[in-house]
Chain A
Amino acid sequence: MWLRWLTTSPLDAVRDGRAIGEPGARMVVIIAMAFGAAVLEAWLRGEPGVLRAVAGLVVQQRRRTLAGDRLLTLLGVVGVALAATLAGAVLPIQGPAVLDSSVGIVWFNAMEVGVWVAVWLVGWGVNAVFPLVGGYRFVAQGLAYELPHMFALITVALGAGSLRFADIVAAQRPVWFVVWMPVAFLVYLLSALAMAFWGPFGEALGRDIAGGVAGELGGVDRLVFSGGRYLMLAVSAAAAVPLFLGADWAPAKTALVLAGLVLVRQLVPGVRMDRYMTFAWMVLIPATLVQMLIVGIVVL
């Protein structure tokens, strides 16, 4: 299946009578939503338009640091957008996904963890103190949010009896999963913020460490890194819909979740990761386990 997907050209799709680029159009929807999130964010903060900021970064010089590891920095800068794209490839948005994997949830999780690598690589690669501090903040954040996040995903898979996103959507025909898995949904929303290092979980780029991971990025590097972050935010919002919010009106529901995530940044202050670690392991993990137990009993 994988090899076939990798080697299938658009021409094969035409020959087989399938609509060319139709699943690919779903990725365009996610990219458009990421742009919309950036527009909303700029409007909420009262900043001049997104396009002006993009143009400013395009013409700006890249920043180079002394004895930085250019290769690792570039891998990290591109890595956030790459991880977000690969994670988004398994999401069905009003139709089949680009990559309809039978282990879609595990794939989504594996690709989303790629953001850890990317952020840490940027923090390390530029060879400066504050980005390095930010990089390690993000690794600590990953270790804090990941286990409750995994349990929430497993709860969904348990309820649907499948790891395939299409089956999960189909399993919510009568009742959305959010109705009988509210704890898993809330935990997922927390990890959606955390995986895009957004809002209360954006301390890896905190102002107290002079911009943190992105502090030494300039020009196109900064543009690609920030764009990847918005893309990751859009992908994590888009995943909430097939996981918890049923099948129909997926783009509209994604936009609502995404707008909610963007708003959270304005409303909630940053969270210290050592404190969140305690909360995640002492409260969220037991809560998700109880949620999973309830779902397991219902499924039985």
Chain B
Amino acid sequence: MAFWVLSVLAVAAGIAVFVVDSMARATFALLASLVAVGLTFLLIDLEYLGVLVILMMVMEMMVMAVFMIMFMMNPAGLMPMTMVHNRRGPRSSPSPCSRRSWRGSSSPTGPPGVDGFPRIPRTRSGCRSWGRKCWS
């Protein structure tokens, strides 16, 4: 019973990593998944390995949080961002905001930033960024 609870938790948290739109939430969803895996070790009396998995994964996620702020492409990583890239590529459906005008500009995806990339990263829910629902 405990095994099934933990395994469902591990898989669900693993899926959540790719669903949430925040790197911080993705990091700790991954941690929840790995802690659930560590707890299953305790069920088969591998106490040392189980507790060690929890210890190492907690520390690893915190080190990852350090790298997160080093390598993320927006200041302090405070803006929403997913683990999945290229959502607006040829195979993905058009974002709900893409047909609207972007602050009066005629470009469907907003004005280009440096090197032609959109200046502000979009999220899967449309263009929620900087705490707003959508640009219009």
Binding site for B on A (CB under 8 A): 1-3, 6, 66-67, 69, 71-72, 75, 101-103, 106-107, 109-110, 113-114, 116-117, 120-121, 124-125, 127, 129, 132, 136, 139-140, 142-143, 146, 163
Complex CA–CA separation, A132 to B25 (angstroms) = 15
Residues of B69-117 at the interface with A, using a CB-CB cut-off of 8 Å, are: 69, 76, 78
Contact A117 B24, beta carbon cutoff 8 Å: no
B24 touches A72 (CB 8 A): yes
Q: Are A72 and B66 also in contact (CB < 8 A) when A114-B58, A117-B58, A146-B59 are?
A: no
CB-defined contacts of A139 to chain B, threshold 8 Å: 62, 65-66
For the residues of A in contact with B, the DSSP-based class is: helix
Q: Contacts A106-B52, A110-B54: A3 and B2 contacting too (C-beta < 8 A)? A: yes
Min CB distance, A171 to chain B, in Å? 19
Measured CA separation A6–B43 after assembly (Å): 11
B80's nearest neighbour on chain A, judged by CB, is A67
Q: Are A103 and B43 in contact (CB under 8 A)?
A: no
Q: How far is the CA of A101 from the CA of B48 in the complex (A)?
A: 10
How distant is the Cα of A142 from the Cα of B25 in the complex, in angstroms?
21
| A103-B58 in contact (CB<8A) | no
Tell me whether A69 and B24 are in contact (CB under 8 A).
yes
| Distance to closest chain A CB from B90 (angstroms) | 32
Chain B residues within an 8 Å CB radius of A143: 63, 66
| Residues of A close to B62: CB separation below 8 A | 113, 116-117, 120, 139, 142
Taking CB atoms, residues of chain A closer than 8 Å to B42 are 2-3
Could you tell me the distance in whole angstroms from the C-beta of B132 to the nearest C-beta in chain A? Answer: 9
Number of A-B contacts defined by CB within 8 Å: 74
Residue of B whose beta carbon sits closest to that of A101: B47
Evaluate whether A116 and B47 lie within 8 angstroms (CB atoms) in the complex, with A72-B25, A136-B66, A139-B65 already known: no
| Contact A113 to B59, CB < 8 A, known contacts A67-B131, A72-B25, A127-B78 | yes
The answer, yes or no, to whether B61 is at the interface (CB within 8 Å) is yes
B38 and chain A: residue at smallest CB distance: A110
The minimal Cβ–Cβ distance linking A83 to chain B, given in whole angstroms, is 9
The closest CB in chain B to the CB of A109 belongs to B55
Report how far A159 CA is from B40 CA in the complex, Å.
Answer: 30
Q: How far is the CB of B105 from chain A (nearest CB, A)?
A: 25
CB-CB < 8 A to B76: which residues of A? 129, 132
Closest to A113 in B: B58
- Interface contact A110-B55, CB-CB below 8 Å: yes
Given contacts A127-B78, A136-B66, contact A116 B58 (CB under 8 A): yes
Q: Find chain B residues with CB under 8 A from A6 CB.
A: 2
Tell me how far the C-beta of A91 lies from the nearest C-beta in chain B, rounded to whole angstroms.
15
Q: List 28 A-B contacts (CB under 8 A).
A: A1-B45, A2-B47, A3-B43, A66-B131, A69-B22, A69-B25, A71-B25, A72-B25, A101-B47, A102-B48, A103-B47, A103-B48, A103-B51, A106-B48, A106-B52, A107-B51, A110-B58, A113-B55, A113-B58, A117-B61, A117-B62, A121-B28, A124-B24, A125-B24, A127-B78, A140-B66, A143-B63, A163-B48
Considering residues B51, B63, B78, which has the most beta carbons from chain A within 10 angstroms of its beta carbon? B51
* With A2-B47, A132-B76 already in contact, 13 other A-B pairs whose C-beta atoms are closer than 8 Å: A3-B2, A3-B43, A66-B131, A69-B22, A71-B25, A75-B28, A103-B47, A103-B48, A110-B54, A110-B58, A114-B58, A117-B62, A140-B66
Q: Give Cα A106–Cα B46 distance, bound, in whole angstroms.
A: 13
Give Cα A72 to B22, complex, Å.
11
Cα–Cα, bound, A66→B61 (Å)? 26
Q: Is B17 an interface residue, CB under 8 A from the partner?
A: no
Q: How far is the CB of A274 from chain B (nearest CB, A)?
A: 14
Chain A residues whose C-beta falls within 8 Å of the C-beta of B22 in the assembled complex: 69
Closest Cβ neighbor of B49 among chain A residues: A103
B31 close to chain A: CB less than 8 A: yes
Give complex CA distance A215, B70 in Å.
24
